[in-house]
Chain A
Amino acid sequence: MDVLAAINGNVNTIGYGLAAVGPAIGVALIFVAYINSSARQPESAGYNRTWLVLGFALVEALALFGLVLAFAVN
């Protein structure tokens, strides 16, 4: 069989791309909720910011696990 084209690289790259979809949606939902709530009730923006960062950090951790595993698993 003739090889016409070949691609070099690691499949982990694609895997990480797929793994980042979930956290991406999660982070987006968190920011949507924050923007919605602070548009409806601007005085709550300061109070909610802490929880925004907290929720963002917890969801982001999943994407970062994916990143670490993309390098760790060979």
Chain B
Amino acid sequence: MSRELVAAEGLPWPPSVGDFYPPELAGPWVTKFGLMVWLAVALIIIFFMVTYRNPKLVPTKGQWMAESVYGLVRDNIAREQMGKDGIRFAPYFTVLFCFIAVTNLFGVTPLLQISPNSHIAFPIVLAAITFFMYIYIGVRKHGFGRYIKQSLIIPGVPWPMHVLLIPIEFLQTFINRPVTLAVRLFANMFAGHLILLVFTVGGFVLLASDNILIQATSVFAFLMAIVMAFFEVLVSLLQAYVFVTLSANYIGSSLADEH
């Protein structure tokens, strides 16, 4: 395969946005990304079903793994950010964490090699769920008027400052939060895929040159591609953690009594 790529004229260089659109598999409705999302969901459901089919007091290896994922999200994310209230949201956060982690890791899985989250549509949906969830929970807990007042008005500020603060707080709570949540995940995956493309395709471009010295430098490009692949694994898990932590923080701030 690599030989063909080297021989092929017109390598896709430089990498561009077009590289994020793999050819349709079967008609416009069946895409690689759609199938990958189904695959992620299936993997998560099967993993938790199998590991928790027959729970024991002394956990087996699989049960221990499932329990540590749940334990991580419950103790280190939900409880840390929301206090005791977080426990009842822990199942949702666990699913969210697993889904984002698995779909992100598709970016470095052989054969799949692109994360669905590198298309903004998927992060937007995930961020929208969090957005509507924290508004709904805030309104349910405090009532509409009090929730809006609580999220817009900072207590203990001299009143002329509110002219400045209310628009800022509005922007912060209702626009910045969901937008950054979606854009952060999307841009990280997008940039990660682009970096991997730069180093792997760049390596082949160097290899295709007619100068032996330039060809030799392609080694560094491929080495860097390997390093970056490991870095991508780190970023994938970190972004899943960050997304869930911020979701928990936002939902926790809707539940809080004080500003």
Contact = CB atoms under 8 A, between A and B. Distances in A.
B187 A68 contact: yes
Given A50-B245, A54-B245, A68 B183 contact: yes
The interface residues of chain B, by DSSP majority, are classed as helix
Contact of B246 (A54, A68, A71): A54
B32 interface: no
Contacts of A54: 242, 245-246, 249
A57 B246 contact: yes
Contact of A64 (B80, B187, B249): B187
B63 to A, nearest CB: 26
A61 B245 contact: no
Contacts of B209: none
B188 interface: yes
Contacts of B187: 64-65, 67-68
A60 to B, nearest CB: 7
Contacts of B81: 50
Interface string A46-74: 00001001101110110011011001000
Nearest to B176: A61
B11 interface: no
A53 B191 contact: no
B76 interface: yes
B180 interface: yes
B245 A53 contact: yes
A21 to B, nearest CB: 17
B238 interface: yes
Contacts of B183: 61, 64-65, 68
Chain A at the B interface: mostly helix, strand, loop or mixed? helix
B212 interface: no
B122 interface: no
Nearest to B191: A67
B80 A57 contact: no
B184 A67 contact: no
B190 interface: yes
B241 interface: yes
B184 A61 contact: yes
Contacts of B242: 53-54, 56-57
B25 interface: no
B245 A71 contact: no
Nearest to A64: B187
28 contacts: A50-B80, A50-B81, A53-B238, A53-B241, A53-B245, A54-B242, A54-B246, A54-B249, A56-B242, A57-B184, A57-B242, A57-B245, A57-B246, A58-B180, A60-B184, A61-B180, A61-B183, A61-B184, A64-B183, A64-B184, A64-B188, A65-B183, A65-B187, A67-B191, A68-B183, A68-B186, A68-B187, A71-B17
Given A53-B245, A57-B242, A64-B188, 11 more contacts: A50-B80, A54-B246, A56-B242, A57-B245, A57-B246, A61-B183, A64-B183, A64-B184, A64-B187, A65-B183, A67-B191
